[in-house]
């Protein structure tokens, strides 16, 4: 693989594109918004400068890395990509529309990967004409910092596709965790219900947001409290994953907390909206 397409210039897409470019791959990022593409590239440059300041990157590496990243508002520019990684919003229909467009545009031998954090890879793949060349690559947020990628095989994913995808991930110094195709996979099946329970703890008046996060940070040695982490992930994404878990398992323990539902309805999505469990001026 030499040429990687990334669909979605948000937090996850920009992180994936940055890491791919840092490890020598030519990358093209797609987004419908020209402004979002500009913010994406500016954010990548800012992250690279921060790495230089921390001594993790040579300053003369920044220009070549940025030079390997292109932007487009047309998926037709993905025709030469060896793999396309979808990183759009965590909604089935939004992903399906994107994936079907990619299926029409990509060369026959290209792989489609979804960065979904909860939705069935088999279900997504079955709506394309290449289920054998379809796979789940769930990068962790923030991508340049986190060392794990979950790889999820759909029912039709071929051994060759799995092998090529794993080689790609490992070429970027990421560890691989292999998950069966169940709702939430490994990380989010465990993590998101924990965050949901923290929200319920706040909703029931057990403790303040600050004390809940303090207790979990110092009591369980987590680097970030669950409510602050929810703000970072995006409360809309947390809710979407809880809904996938609830729908997939039909178990009441995965019922989204009413407070989470209310906050998303009110547009309080966390860092990206400026207001979640905490304020972000």
Q: How many domains does the chain have?
A: 2
Whether residue 140 sits in one domain with residue 119: yes
pLDDT tier for residue 35 given thresholds of 50, 70 and 90: very high
117 is catalytic: yes
**Annotated active-site residue in 150, 196, 240, 243:** 150
**Annotated active-site residue in 118, 138, 179, 243:** 138
pLDDT score of 120: 97
Any known ligand binding at 110? Answer: no
Asked whether residue 199 is assigned to any structural domain, the reply reads yes
Whether residue 265 sits in one domain with residue 156: no
Any known ligand binding at 159? Answer: no
**Annotated active-site residue in 14, 114, 115, 117:** 117
What CATH number has the domain bearing residue 223? 1.10.1040.10
pLDDT score of 80: 97
Whether residue 32 sits in one domain with residue 156: yes
Asked whether residue 157 is assigned to any structural domain, the reply reads yes
124-162 pLDDT, tens digit each: 999 999 999 999 999 999 999 999 999 999 999 999 999
Whether residue 196 sits in one domain with residue 168: no
pLDDT tier for residue 58 given thresholds of 50, 70 and 90: very high
Whether residue 206 sits in one domain with residue 123: no
Asked whether residue 277 is assigned to any structural domain, the reply reads no
Any known ligand binding at 51? Answer: no
Any known ligand binding at 248? Answer: no
127 is catalytic: no
Whether residue 162 sits in one domain with residue 198: no
Whether residue 205 sits in one domain with residue 153: no
**Annotated active-site residue in 47, 118, 188, 240:** 188
Any known ligand binding at 141? Answer: yes
203-262 pLDDT, tens digit each: 999 999 999 999 999 999 999 999 999 999 999 999 999 999 999 999 999 999 999 999
Asked whether residue 78 is assigned to any structural domain, the reply reads yes
Asked whether residue 37 is assigned to any structural domain, the reply reads yes
Any known ligand binding at 272? Answer: yes
Distances (CA, A) of 184 to 8, 187, 245, 251, 254: 21, 7, 6, 14, 11
Asked whether residue 280 is assigned to any structural domain, the reply reads no
Asked whether residue 278 is assigned to any structural domain, the reply reads no
Whether residue 212 sits in one domain with residue 101: no
Domain end, chosen from 180, 207, 239, is at 180
What CATH number has the domain bearing residue 70? 3.40.50.720
Q: Which domain holds residue 235?
A: 192-271
Mean pLDDT, all residues of the chain: 97
Asked whether residue 146 is assigned to any structural domain, the reply reads yes
Spell out the SS3 assignment of the chain: CCEEEEECCCHHHHHHHHHHHHCCCEEEEECCCHHHHHHHHHHHHHHHHHHHHCCCCCHHHHHHHHHCEEEECCHHHHCCCCEEEECCCCCHHHHHHHHHHHHHHCCCCCEEEECCCCCCHHHHHCCCCCHHHEEEEEECCCCCCCCEEEEEECCCCCHHHHHHHHHHHHHCCCEEEEECCCCCCCHHHHHHHHHHHHHHHHHCCCCCHHHHHHHHHHHHCCCCCHHHHHHHHCHHHHHHHHHHHHHHHCCHHHCCCHHHHHHHHCCCCECCCCECCCECC
188 is catalytic: yes
Any known ligand binding at 167? Answer: no
Whether residue 134 sits in one domain with residue 52: yes
């Amino acid at each position: 693989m030499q040429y990687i397409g990334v669909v979605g210039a948000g937090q996850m897409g920009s992180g994936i594109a940055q890491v791919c470019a840092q490890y020598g791959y030519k990358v093209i990022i797609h987004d419908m918004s020209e402004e979002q593409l500009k913010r994406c590239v500016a954010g990548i440059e800012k992250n690279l400068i921060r790495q230089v300041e921390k001594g993790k990157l040579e300053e003369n590496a920044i220009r070549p890395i940025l030079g390997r990243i292109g932007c487009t508002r047309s998926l037709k520019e993905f025709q030469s990509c060896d793999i396309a990684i979808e990183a759009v919003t965590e909604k089935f229909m939004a992903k399906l529309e994107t994936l079907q467009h990619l299926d029409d545009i990509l060369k026959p031998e290209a792989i489609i990967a979804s960065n979904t954090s909860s939705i069935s890879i088999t279900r997504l793949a079955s709506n394309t004409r290449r289920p054998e060349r379809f796979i789940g690559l769930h990068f962790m947020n923030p991508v340049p910092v986190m060392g794990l990628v979950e790889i999820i095989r759909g029912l039709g994913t071929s051994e060759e596709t799995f092998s090529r995808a794993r080689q790609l991930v490992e070429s970027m110094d990421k560890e691989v965790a292999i998950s069966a195709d169940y709702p939430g996979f490994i990380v989010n099946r465990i993590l998101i219900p924990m965050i949901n329970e923290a929200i319920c703890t706040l909703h029931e008046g057990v403790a303040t947001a600050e004390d809940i996060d303090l207790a979990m940070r110092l009591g369980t040695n987590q680097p970030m409290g669950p409510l602050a982490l929810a703000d970072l992930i995006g409360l809309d994404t947390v809710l979407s994953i809880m809904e996938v878990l609830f729908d997939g398992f039909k178990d009441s323990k995965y019922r989204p907390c009413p407070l989470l539902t209310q906050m998303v309805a009110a547009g309080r999505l966390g860092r990206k909206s400026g207001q979640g469990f905490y304020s972000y001026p």
